[in-house]
Amino acid sequence: MHGRPRNPSKPEDEEASAAKASKLRALQSQFLHNHHSKLYDKGALELSAKLLEINPEFYTAWNYRKLAVEHCLSQPGSDPESILNEELRAVEGALRQNFKSYGAWYHRKWVLSKGHSSVDHEMRLLDKFQKADPRNFHAWNYRRFVAALKNISEEDELKYTTDMIERNFSNYSAWHNRSILLSNLLKRKAEVFPKEKILSEEYELVHQAIFTDPDDQSGWFYHLWLLEQTVTKDAPWLISCWPASGSELIISDSKSASSCTASPLSSYFSDGRVEMPVILYFNQAIKGVNTSTVTVRSVFAESKDLVWRPLSLSNFGSAQAWVAFLKFSEVKIDYSMSYEVEVSLGDSSGIVSLNGCPLTHAFQSKFMVRFQQPDSRNTDGQNIGSISWEDSNFQNYEGGPEQCNIIPPCIQLKMAKDHEPIASKWQVDILMNEIELFRELLSAADCKIGKLTLARLLTALDTLMLYNDTSNSCQMRHTEEILALYTDLMKLDPSHSQYYREEHSLTFLRQVSCSKENLLRYCWLYRNSALSDSRNLVCLRLNNLSLARVGSIENLLWVQMLDLSHNELRSIEGLEAMQLLSCLNLSNNKIKSFTALDPLRHLKSLKVLNISQNEIGKHSVDTTRYLCSSPLSHTEASDWRRSGLCSTDDAQLSKYWEAFLVFRDLTLVQLGITGNKVVNEDFRSFLLKILPTLERLDDTNL
């Protein structure tokens, strides 16, 4: 194990093992006969107990004993006390063989739930187990169950946990038990146990463990839990939206774009679509966004006519980002007018987080919409296709922040200032105290987990300060220090370097996107001879930055053209919220499969996509391990046939099912795929069948 060579087994050991296996097979055979025959006499029960002493993980035997207990209790003249005591003895026999057996501990809970047992005896038994192994997670779990039966207060149990931790700071299970007890107390008795007082005391306790033995992980994990409790608010709130409140949006069809003179960051090119997304982005995944919880007032649609859908890769009806579409088709547009749209969320119990906390911060956004009149001189227009991502086609955007009509989310957050502050003074004070302590620790010892904790503390402090910032600076003040810490960690701990790269990328993107000034450094104007010189296309160029993960999406909802090429991305999770994206460059990354591109399915405005020079198809998946060659359902196959493809293409569908699921609902006009191992003539022909709107594939006009 762990690289150590095994000692060759002795002949006598092999004989003993073979005899044990033979005995176990015989017991199992007889037990299964009794089980199928529904035999619950004394001999059958003794045989099952003997079997469980040898193999406590035989779940069928525990289920059999439940049936046997129910049968025996139902017999006339039965003695419940004797029956249940015998069952507890059988569990103890199994626990002596393996006192970390899930089946045994769950069966003991089941016996106690029948209403008969000496709870005092259970506590004495637990004391024995916890003396033998104080880090037995199962025993701690069972202790909480017994304490509840005995009505032992959580405060008393907390004192017991403190005693166990002070005996051994390395008792991870005790720390875990403490976090559960404190979570319950903070939820139920917030008035008696103020959060800031409790957390301050807990930090003092965990400091003793961390500074006594910095190499032990138990205290560090508990410190991470405390940090989460310090900075996390249970109630969700809205942190970003598009269109931004107070903005005036110019809507231009691609055919009229050549005459658009508005700021490119306040323009929305609809590309012939007669609808516009309204996006709400929350601080955490929530559910309950619908016409009864969100009110939209406009001439384009009534609230009851809008359909809000979650922008999530899961199917659980929850997401951080939600979208609804305002449709213009039924309104006669007056090009001389500006139309007001109002979006409001009240203090709604209908919008809740996944842990059941309701939205408590009301929100109201008003923005104006104006339409660009089509240019009669350019009736044919130019499609947004034929995009070239060469550097020569981009020039710096010279407009200053004051000319940009987009309101960054860091300013939008201040709309909650009339309510409870997002960050309290005690939270900031705790974080600053922790940062000072860990800087002191790291000055004396080069501790990997200490560096990681300091990076997390600095990130949390910057985030809280940003939320409460009343100036226009909107800066993450410790970015350089955080980036340096993650760079050091990549060198000190290569086995976890991918995690550190991702955190490094998220930190960098938070700094880039937290203010107008920072964002505009990465905004470039796209110019190409194929398009009119006066057309405004702004590209957010985040290429060649060694990004391993995409983040801060809430600050990028306005982006229509995005260049993420020449990075180290393996996933694009989060891009599904960027509903305005029409041009996306993901070339020269480390994307390994079409499954990693799943967020693209939500981007209905996407017209131009470049995924060339990735690793799609390089890492094969052995589909013979599954019952079916692909996860396609009968419904998917039916959709395939209804799309006009004959049944002889089923082989292609089975072979390229991942690509089919990603691309089937998109209306791409330009796609770059060269440089991926999956690409061959067969795959190209497959793409042409599922993308009938395609006009350009790699360098070929269709």
CATH at 604: 3.80.10.10
* Residue among 680, 629, 619, 675 at smallest CA distance from 653: 629
The radius of gyration of the chain from alpha carbons, rounded to an integer in Å, stands at 31
Tokens of 228: 């989460």
Q: What percent of the chain has pLDDT over 70?
A: 81
- Mean pLDDT for 325-345 is 83
Residues 285 and 58: their CA atoms lie apart, in Å, by 39
Task: Write down the residue that tokens 């502050």 correspond to.
Answer: 421
Mean pLDDT score, 54-65: 91
pLDDT of the residue at 336: 83
Strongest mean pLDDT among 6-10, 294-298, 622-626, 669-673: 669-673
Same domain, 210 and 320: no
Residue 18, pLDDT above cutoff 80: no
Query: How far is residue 684's CA from residue 355's CA, in Å, rounded to a whole number?
Result: 46
The answer to whether residue 4 is domain-embedded is no
pLDDT in tens, 637-661: 445 444 555 444 667 787 888 889 8
Q: Which residues pair with 240 in a beta bridge?
A: 281
Would you say residue 698 has pLDDT above 60? yes
In three-state secondary structure terms, 585 is strand
Q: How far is CA 191 from CA 21, 181, 185, 187, in A?
A: 59, 16, 10, 10
Q: Does residue 529 belong to any structural domain of this protein? A: no
Quick check: is 351 in a domain?
yes
* Pair 270, 255 in one domain: yes
Hey, which bits of 461-531 come out as E strands? 523-526
Tokens 């194929």, residue? 530
Q: Given CA atoms 52, 54, 55, 60 in this order, what sign does their dihedral have?
A: negative
pLDDT at 674 (0 to 100):
95
Strand partners, 526: 394
Q: What is the mean pLDDT of the chain?
A: 82
Q: Are 207 and 72 in the same domain? A: yes
Which of 231, 265, 282 is where one domain is finished? Answer: 231
Segments in 288-445 forming alpha helices (H): 409-412, 425-444
Q: How far apart are CA 93 and CA 89, in angstroms?
A: 6
**Residue 97 in domain:** yes
pLDDT tens digits, 205-225: 999 999 888 888 889 999 999
Domain extent, residue 322, equals 238-379
User: Ramachandran region of residue 602, left (φ > 0), alpha (ψ -120 to 50) or beta?
Assistant: alpha
Is the domain of 94 the same as that of 37?
Answer: yes
Strand ordering across the sheet containing 248-252: 267-269, 248-252, 363-371, 338-345, 294-297
Query: How many CB atoms sit inside 10 A of residue 376's CB?
Result: 8
Same domain, 509 and 580: no
Note whether residue 395 is domain-resident.
no
CA distance 660 to 226: 45
**Measured distance CA(515)–CA(631) in Å, rounded:** 43
State whether 69 and 166 are in the same domain: yes
Is residue 384 in a domain?
no
Q: Report pLDDT for 384.
A: 55
pLDDT tens by residue, 155-195: 899 999 999 898 888 888 999 999 999 988 887 766 667 88
Question: Tokens 């500074």 sit at which residue?
Answer: 211
pLDDT at 652: 76
67 and 214, same domain (yes or no): yes
Among candidate residues 545, 542, 544, 568, the one with its CA nearest the CA of residue 555: 542
Q: Determine the average pLDDT of the residues in 354-370.
A: 84
541 has pLDDT over 90: yes
- Supply the CATH number for residue 66's domain: 1.25.40.120
Q: How far is CA 183 from the centre of its chain?
A: 22
Comparing 142-151, 230-239, 587-596, which segment has the lowest mean pLDDT?
A: 230-239
- Distance separating the N- and C-terminal Cα atoms of the chain: 58
Question: At residue 622, does pLDDT exceed 60?
Answer: no
Domain count, the chain: 4
In 3D space, the residue among 471, 434, 479, 441 whose CA is nearest the CA of residue 227 turns out to be 434
Q: How many CB atoms are closer than 10 A to CB 547? A: 22
**CB-based contact 318:354 (threshold 8 Å):** yes
Does 625 score more than 50 pLDDT? no
Q: What does the alpha-carbon distance between residue 333 and residue 339 come to, in Å, rounded to a whole number?
A: 10
Give the mean pLDDT of 596-623: 86
Nearest to 569 by CA among 501, 621, 508: 501
Which range is least confidently modeled, 114-123, 292-301, 335-344?
114-123
Bridge partners, 368 (sequence order): 248, 340
For residue 120, count CB atoms less than 10 angstroms from its CB and return exposed for 0-12, middle for 13-18, buried for 19 or more.
exposed
Question: pLDDT tens digits, residue range 423-445?
Answer: 678 888 999 999 999 998 888 77
Residues 447, 561, single domain; the answer is no
pLDDT: is 625 or 310 the higher one?
310
The answer to whether residue 333 scores a pLDDT higher than 60 is: yes
Q: Are residues 43 and 182 in the same domain?
A: yes
Domain boundary among 197, 231, 265: 231
* Confidence tier at 420 by pLDDT (50, 70, 90): low
Q: Is residue 435 part of a domain?
A: yes
Maximum mean pLDDT: which of 234-238, 364-368, 435-439: 435-439
Q: What is the mean pLDDT of residues 134-158?
A: 87
CA dist list (Å): 202 to 80, 190, 226 = 45, 16, 8
Please say which residue of 196, 213, 231 terminates a domain.
231
- Going by pLDDT thresholds of 50, 70 and 90, the confidence category of residue 588 is very high
Backbone angles phi, psi at 689, to 5 degrees: -75, -40
pTM for the structure as a whole: 0.83
Q: Which residues pair with 394 in a beta bridge?
A: 526
Confidence category of residue 544, pLDDT binned at 50, 70, 90: very high
Note whether residue 549 is domain-resident.
yes
- Give CA–CA dist 575/598, Å, rounded: 10
Say yes or no: 369 and 330 in one domain: yes
Q: Is the confidence at residue 472, as pLDDT, over 60?
A: no
Number of CB atoms found within 10 A of residue 67's CB:
12
Same domain, 163 and 204: yes
Taking the CB of residue 358, how many other CB atoms lie within 10 A of it? 16
Give the pairing of strands 248-252 and 267-269: parallel
pLDDT confidence band for 124 (50 / 70 / 90): confident
Task: Note whether 122 and 213 are same-domain residues.
Answer: yes
